[in-house]
Amino acid sequence: MATLATLVSLLLLGVQTQVRSEWTYSEGDLDEEHWPLEYPACGGRRQSPINLQRQKVRFNPALTALHLTGYGDDQAGQFSMTNNGHTVQISLPSSMRLAAPDGAEYAAVQMHYHWGGASAELSGSEHTVDGMRRVIEIHVVHYNVKYESYDVAKDAPDGLAVLAAFVEVEDYAENTYYSSFISHLANIKHPGQSTVLSDLTVLDMLPEDLVHYYSYWGSLTTPPCTENVRWFVLEDSVKLSRAQVWKIENSLLTHHNRTLHNGYRKAQPLHGRVVEANFYHFPSQRSEVEFLLHRIENNIQYLVKALAPKKAKKQY
């Protein structure tokens, strides 16, 4: 009996340890403020998200349009869509690629969302712009193809890249590109549940303007908070109806069986980092001409890449 009691105690201790180690944003022993205790990188000096202060952003004309391959293809097949207890996550094919201005190429892994929705906090983007939080933020996670897999790249100093986009509310205008995604949320109410999306076209779920963006080096915004992420935050936003936003904010439950609200990390200090952009903010009359010329040049480059002959799949 003593041996049995000991085994039961050890099992209970193991269960309690697992519960304690489950990170959260605002409750339990491992809420956001205590992440560094379990994940030291979360207390580092190159953390994400950040507040994008537009008047302090440095304009960089070398930041040409991102080259997205496979984003606009109708991805025939079945793509897993999962409630992981923190957000909804969609697995993506590695045929989706992002090429940065310096030639670095990244393969897609997954996309997920961050939102608010609690009564006291309606907006839930992770990055803020001049201190203002947007309704939802989309993250498309990639790994550097110079490494053989995501598992290898995730620990490399230049291993990851995230394409981020904001979502804003447009009254009465339903975004039909999101209809299938939103309707599938009912199938993954509880953590660990998965469903399948078919005929996924990620390009339709992103903003129209993919040319203009902010860029900086930071980290994953959730544990383990690895500081090896190259961020590309699009200037433009996806537009959803208020009803669509409400559905996203109120369809999923957490590991604690509560509605998944406010699933975002607060803005982190810059610690001397420089944020760059390939567009001006409130340009002067003289620089406005330069700004418009650069935008035209970027758009031409984007169109040239989009219209270039393709060997197999369409490129955007």
> Which residues belong to the active site?
86
Q: Over 141-191, what HEC string results?
A: EEEECCCCCHHHHCCCCCCEEEEEEEEEECCCCCCHHHHHHHHHHHHHCCC
Nearest 10 degrees: CA dihedral of 217, 221, 225, 227?
0
In sequence order, what are the beta bridge partners of 106?
98, 144
User: How far is Cα 142 from Cα 161, in angstroms, rounded to an integer?
Assistant: 5
User: How far is Cα 263 from Cα 26, in angstroms, rounded to an integer?
Assistant: 9
User: How far is Cα 24 from Cα 255, in angstroms, rounded to an integer?
Assistant: 9
Q: C-alpha distances in angstroms, 262 versus 18, 117, 237?
A: 23, 6, 19
Burial class of residue 61, CB neighbours in 10 A (0-12, 13-18, 19+): exposed
Q: Over 243-278, what HEC string results?
A: HHHHHHHCCCECCCCCECCCCCCCCCCCCCCCCEEC
Structural tokens at position 231: 């961020």
| Cα three-residue angle 121-127-51, rounded to 5 degrees | 105
